[in-house]
Amino acid sequence: MSKKRVAIQGTRASFHEEAAYKYFGEDIEIVECVTFKQTCEAIKKGTADYAVMAIENSIAGSLLPNYALLQEFNFPIIGEVYLHIQLHLLALPGVKFEDIKYVHSHPIAIRQCNDFFEDFPHLQVLEKTDTAACAKNIRENNLTDTVAIANLTAAKMYDLQVLERRIETNKKNFTRFLILANEAVESSKNNKASICFQVGNTIGSLAKVLNIFVENNINLTKIQSMPIIGKPNDYNFYVDLEWGKESDYDHCMRKLLKAVVNLAVMGEYLKNPMK
């Protein structure tokens, strides 16, 4: 039986690879992609069976461009996974902190460490496409004046020393990743969904919709609004919701159909604990 092919944004030893292993297990084939859009294109072209996509971080917030990708490619969300993010400064062995001039990492990782770098204004913090790729670049180009913000897996893979440990602002730092596939997976165990809809631009229209969730014992875990391109004052609302009884969810969705515009179920799946 062939291995599941999982597309990730970034290179080996990135947080996306770590999330893929946490969700699928070790027996998978990793498909490296430079951008999030390329992970979706990999599913579309058939070079990957699944994609792992970061959607929000407990410090840096939502990755808004990825909501647009979910809308553009319309692949069903079949799962989620939370990863405890621990960020470290990695350098070539022997490099001292006073030798550093440049810091390279993904912009989301940088934002998670803003408090640390406020104490070192002389350092030039430069945004790159991937945390692990920054570590790899230091090793391949023998950069003695540069550090990367990355995880311990990258340090081990590229033989780098940990110059500073746990530099993230908040130690309870989690990133939520979505699992995308070409087809939805139906299961009686599903207890979470991601949906998208629009409401009328009138007073109380959103409040009326939110009250439908309350009346049907549905717990909203996230609501994110995104402007609709070319339609000023119109928004898509992306909502994550959880239920205890499937009948409550079914009844809620029937009510929503009458109350909103362009209701789309982006995925129904089993919620994953944050641990």
- Answer yes or no: is 199 within a domain: yes
Q: Is residue 275 part of a domain?
A: no
Strand bridging mode 174-181 / 77-84: antiparallel
- What residue numbers bound the domain in which 114 lies? 88-164
Say if residue 122 is in the same domain as residue 75. Answer: no
**95 and 80, same domain (yes or no):** no
The enclosing domain of 39 has a CATH number of: 3.40.190.10
How many domains does the structure of the chain reveal? Answer: 3
Query: Is the pLDDT score of 275 beyond 80?
Result: no
User: Could you tell me if 77 and 95 lie in one domain?
Assistant: no
For residues 46 and 117, membership in a common domain is answered with: no
Write out pLDDT tens, residues 44-72. Answer: 999 999 999 999 999 999 999 999 999 99
Beta strands per DSSP E along the chain:
4-9, 28-33, 50-57, 61-62, 77-84, 88-91, 102-105, 124-127, 146-150, 161-164, 174-181, 192-198, 219-227, 235-242, 261-269
Decide if 272 is inside a domain.
no
- Shared domain for 75 and 177, answered yes or no, is yes
Residue 216, domain member (yes or no): yes
Taken in order 6, 62, 164, 273, the sign of the CA dihedral is negative
Rounded to whole angstroms, the Cα distance separating 248 from 252 reads 6
pLDDT one-digit tens code per residue, 165-221? 999 999 999 999 999 999 999 999 999 999 999 998 889 999 999 999 999 999 999
pLDDT given at position 49: 98
pLDDT computed for residue 77 by the predictor: 98
Same domain (yes/no): 150, 208: no
Asked whether residue 34 falls in the same domain as residue 155, the answer is no
Asked whether residue 250 falls in the same domain as residue 122, the answer is no
Q: What is the pLDDT of residue 251?
A: 97
Query: In which band, very low, low, confident or very high, does the pLDDT at 97 lie, cut at 50, 70 and 90?
Result: very high
Does the structure show a pLDDT above 90 at 273? no
Percent of the chain with pLDDT over 70: 100
Helix runs in 161-232, H state only:
205-215
Residue 273 lies in a domain: no
The CATH number of whichever domain residue 202 belongs to comes to 3.30.70.260
CB within 8 Å of 57: residues ≥ 6 apart: 63, 85, 108, 112, 173, 174, 175, 176
Q: Is residue 111 part of a domain?
A: yes
| 145 plus 213 within the same structural domain | no
Global model pTM greater than 0.85: yes
- Choose the final residue of a domain: 133, 149, 181: 181
Would you say residue 250 has pLDDT above 80?
yes
Task: Please report the pLDDT score of residue 179 as a whole number.
Answer: 98
The answer to which of 9-13, 17-21, 40-44, 47-51 has the lowest mean pLDDT is 9-13
**107 and 81 in a common domain:** no
